[in-house]
């Protein structure tokens, strides 16, 4: 009888994924795989990694796929009902003149059967002996998503195979069955893909997204306080322009910036700001809202509200952005509450901390009395802190 112990988990790198979304992916990935059944690799090394697997099955996922619940205790338990009947289960795509593809976002492989047929290469791009596939007339959605596939006795060839195409052919040629994920399996997860705009659109419409994933393109209250200490480490909430304005006097000494925020939208906006913004802040905000940010903005979306951005002075942050980009300042984007005690405990050097209004933020679940405890932790640390609220 197949159990969860018969599975290993392989996480494939997604090199195009935004740093903020990558952190959100790992923090949201729920599983109980022990270290000896947990591997990671680049897509070009998938074959070598699969050869290391000691379990019968491997669940391969790519960074950027989000499951609504535990991948093993929930998702796999639903798949296990017919797992012994198939050697590959995944998103099987009909690429027409370029044969078939296993989409790398997720698939399940019977590793034992794959090894029995000499480990066909997932990245193999050409073959003169591919099995001609019979497929369903219907699709899950677009015309390249068949409901089922099966082998025929005919042979074809292709010199531009996509990922997994050769594996599909070899498995079928050796009489191993393959099936696409069914409707239920497809609807308990979401993949954000590769293009930046596509990533943002998908993640900001993710069904499990925190209902308080707001972002503030403009300060709700004027902040005039600036850091004065020359520390190399800076920790801040992800409030974009305002978080940068606060280091306008000290930014040249900063080597590492870590943003913590309970809002993935705020983290994404801040990441795009640091990586891409150059001029015309109003246009920058409108473009972000157009690809998914609008449902989470604290602007009302009217032209009049956007006009406020014309008078919002961002010139102060331009030299800061230039310095960050040209001096390899390390930036981390972390989903989570900046008030957690572990953040102070894990600091290794003197640090600037921008709390903004987190202890008074109406969407945060921090008790008012925790501020005293937080201050005590800062005061008792062996490192120096300058803290602004």
194-236: pLDDT as tens digits = 999 999 999 999 999 988 899 999 987 777 899 999 999 999 9
pLDDT (average), residues 97-126: 98
CATH assignment at residue 142 = 3.90.550
Task: Report whether pLDDT(357) > 90.
Answer: no
pTM over 0.75: yes
CA-to-CA dists, residue 365 to 215, 317, 380, angstroms: 17, 31, 24
| Residues 186 and 231 grouped into a single domain | no
d(CA 339, CA 377): 11
Give me the chain's average pLDDT, please. Answer: 95
Residues 218, 143, single domain; the answer is no
Structure confidence at residue 283 (pLDDT): 95
Strand 38-41 relative to strand 7-12: parallel, antiparallel, unpaired?
A: parallel
Q: Taking residues 24-28, what's their average pLDDT? A: 97
Q: Does 200 reside within a domain? A: no
What gap in Å lies between CA 40 and CA 167, rounded to an integer? 20
Last residue of a domain, one of 191, 223, 254: 191
Of 138-142, 249-253, 366-370, where does mean pLDDT reach its minimum? 366-370
Q: Is the pLDDT of residue 257 over 90?
A: yes
At 368, the pLDDT band (50, 70, 90 cuts) reads: confident
Q: And the tokens for 46?
A: 């998938």
The predicted pLDDT at position 224 comes to 81
Model confidence at 150, in pLDDT bands (50, 70, 90)?
very high
145, 164, 191 - which closes a domain: 191
- Within this chain, do residues 227 and 342 fall inside the same structural domain, yes or no? yes
pLDDT of residue 366: 72
Q: Classify residue 307: in a domain, yes or no.
A: yes
Asked whether the beta carbons of 161 and 170 are under 8 A apart, the reply is no
Query: Which tokens go with 93?
Result: 């795509």
What confidence score (pLDDT) does residue 305 get?
A: 85
pLDDT the model gives residue 359? 80
Q: Give me the pLDDT at residue 18, please.
A: 98
Q: Does 42 lie in the same domain as 106?
A: yes
Answer yes or no: are the C-beta atoms of 341 and 366 closer than 8 Å: no
In a domain, 328, yes or no: yes
- Say if 295 falls within a structural domain: yes
| Structure tokens, 366 | 């921090």
Is 203 part of a structural domain of the chain?
no
Question: What b/e string do you get for 143-175 counting C-beta neighbours within 10 Å, with b at 16 or more?
Answer: eebbeebebeeeeeebeebbbbbbbbbbbbebe
Q: Are residues 180 and 246 in the same domain?
A: no
* Pair (291, 324) in one structural domain: yes
Are 156 and 99 in the same domain? yes
199 in a domain, yes or no? no
Which of 94-98, 276-280, 298-302, 353-357 has the lowest average pLDDT? 298-302
Lowest model confidence (mean pLDDT) among 18-32, 79-93, 217-231, 273-287: 217-231
Same domain, 186 and 225: no
Long-range interactions of 327-331: CB distance < 8 A, separation 24+? 329/254, 329/255, 329/256, 329/257, 330/255, 330/256, 330/257, 331/19, 331/256, 331/257, 331/258, 331/259, 331/271, 331/274
182 plus 215 within the same structural domain: no
Q: What's the pLDDT band for 365 if we cut at 50, 70, 90?
A: low
Spell out the SS3 assignment of the chain.
CCCHHHEEEEEECCCCCCHHHHHHHHHHCCCCCCHHHEEEECHHHHHHHHHHCCCCEEEEEECCEEECCCHHHHHHHHHCCCHHHCCEEEEEEECHHHCEEEEEEEEEEEHHHHHHCCCCCCCCCCEEEEEEEEECCCECCCCCCECCEEEEEEEEEECCCCCCHHHHHHHHHCCCCEEECCHHHHCCEEECCCCHHHHHHHHCCCCCCCCCCCECCCCCCCCCCCCCCCCCEEEEECCCHHHHHCCCCCHHHCCEEEEEECCHHHHHHHHHHHHHCCCCHHHHHHHHHHCCHHHHECCCCCHHHHHHHHHCCCHHHHHHHHHHHHCCCEEEEEECCCCCHHHHHCCCCCEEEECCCHHHCCCCCCCCCHHHHHHHHHHCCCCCEEEEC
Dihedral-angle region of residue 361 (phi above 0 means left; psi in -120 to 50 means alpha; beta otherwise)? beta
pLDDT at 325: 97
Same domain flag for 186 and 215? no
User: For the segment 130-149, what is each residue's pLDDT rounded down to a tens digit?
Assistant: 999 999 999 999 999 999 99
Domain that holds residue 247: 210-388
Give the model's pLDDT for residue 145: 98
Residue 202 domain-assigned?
A: no
- Report pLDDT digits (tens) over 31-69: 999 999 999 999 999 999 999 999 999 999 999 999 999
- 57 contacts 111 by C-beta, under 8 angstroms: yes
Return d(Cα 10, Cα 29) in angstroms, integer: 12
- What pLDDT, on a 0 to 100 scale, did the predictor assign at position 274? 98
Structurally, the chain folds into a number of domains equal to 2
Looking at the structure, do residues 50 and 87 belong to the same domain, yes or no? yes
pLDDT tier at 360, thresholds 50, 70, 90 = confident
Instruction: Give the mean model confidence (pLDDT) for residues 353-368.
Output: 79
Kindly state the average pLDDT of the residues 315-322: 97
Task: From 134, 157, 191, give the residue that closes a domain.
Answer: 191
Q: Does some domain include residue 197? A: no
Whether the per-residue pLDDT at 266 is higher than 90: the answer is yes
**Mean pLDDT (whole number) for 282-291:** 96
- Give how far Cα 224 sits from Cα of 55, 219, 242, 245, 371, Å: 59, 11, 10, 9, 22
Q: What percentage of the chain reaches a pLDDT higher than 70?
A: 99
Band of residue 303 on the pLDDT scale cut at 50, 70, 90: confident
Q: Strand 330-335 to strand 100-110: parallel, antiparallel, or no bridges (unpaired)?
A: unpaired
Distance, CA of 76 to chain centre: 21
Q: Are residues 149 and 286 in the same domain?
A: no
- Asked if pLDDT for residue 362 goes beyond 70, the answer is no
């Amino acid at each position: 009888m197949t159990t969860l112990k018969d599975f290993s988990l392989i996480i494939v790198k997604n090199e195009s994924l935004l740093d903020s979304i990558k952190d959100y992916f790992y923090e949201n990935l729920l599983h109980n795989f022990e270290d000896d059944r947990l591997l990671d690799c680049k897509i070009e090394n998938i074959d070598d990694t699969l050869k290391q697997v000691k379990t019968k099955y491997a669940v391969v996922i790519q960074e950027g796929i989000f499951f609504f619940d535990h991948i093993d205790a929930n998702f796999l338990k639903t798949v296990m009902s017919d797992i012994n009947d198939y050697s590959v289960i995944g998103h099987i795509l009909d690429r027409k003149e370029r044969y078939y593809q296993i989409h790398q976002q997720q698939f399940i492989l019977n590793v034992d059967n794959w090894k029995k047929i000499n480990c066909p290469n997932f990245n193999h791009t050409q073959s003169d002996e591919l099995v001609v596939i019979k497929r369903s007339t219907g699709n899950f959605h677009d015309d390249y998503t068949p409901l089922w596939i099966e082998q025929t006795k005919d042979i074809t060839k292709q010199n531009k195979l996509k990922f997994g195409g050769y594996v599909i052919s070899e498995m079928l040629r050796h009489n191993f069955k393959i099936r696409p994920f069914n409707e239920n399996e497809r609807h308990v997860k979401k993949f954000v893909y590769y293009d930046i705009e596509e990533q943002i659109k998908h993640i900001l419409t993710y069904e499990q997204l925190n209902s308080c994933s707001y972002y503030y393109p403009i300060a709700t209250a004027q902040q005039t306080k600036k850091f004065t200490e020359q520390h190399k480490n800076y920790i801040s909430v992800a409030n974009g322009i305002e978080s940068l304005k606060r280091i306008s006097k000290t930014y040249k000494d900063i080597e590492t910036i870590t943003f913590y925020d309970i809002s993935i939208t705020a983290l994404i906006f801040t990441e795009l700001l640091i990586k891409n913004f150059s001029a015309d802040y109003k246009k920058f905000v409108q473009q972000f809202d157009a690809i998914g940010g609008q449902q989470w903005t604290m602007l009302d979306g009217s032209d009049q509200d956007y006009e406020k951005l014309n008078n919002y002075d961002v010139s102060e942050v331009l030299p800061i952005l230039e310095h960050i980009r040209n001096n390899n300042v390390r930036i981390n984007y972390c989903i989570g509450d900046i008030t957690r005690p572990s953040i102070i405990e894990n600091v290794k050097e003197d640090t600037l901390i921008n709390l903004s209004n987190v202890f008074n933020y109406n969407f945060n679940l921090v008790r008012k009395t925790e501020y005293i405890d937080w201050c005590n932790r800062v005061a008792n640390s062996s490192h120096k802190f300058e803290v602004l609220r």
